[in-house]
A and B are shown apart, each in its own frame.
Chain A
Amino acid sequence: QAVVTQEPSLTVSPGGTVTLTCGSSTGAVTSGHYPYWFQQKPGQAPRTLIYDTSNKHSWTPARFSGSLLGGKAALTLSGAQPEDEAEYYCLLSYSGARPDVVFGGGTKLTVL
Chain B
Amino acid sequence: DVKVTQSSRYLVKRTGEKVFLECVQDMDHENMFWYRQDPGLGLRLIYFSYDVKMKEKGDIPEGYSVSREKKERFSLILESASTNQTSMYLCASTGGDSTYSPLHFGNGTRLTVT
A-B complex is real: no
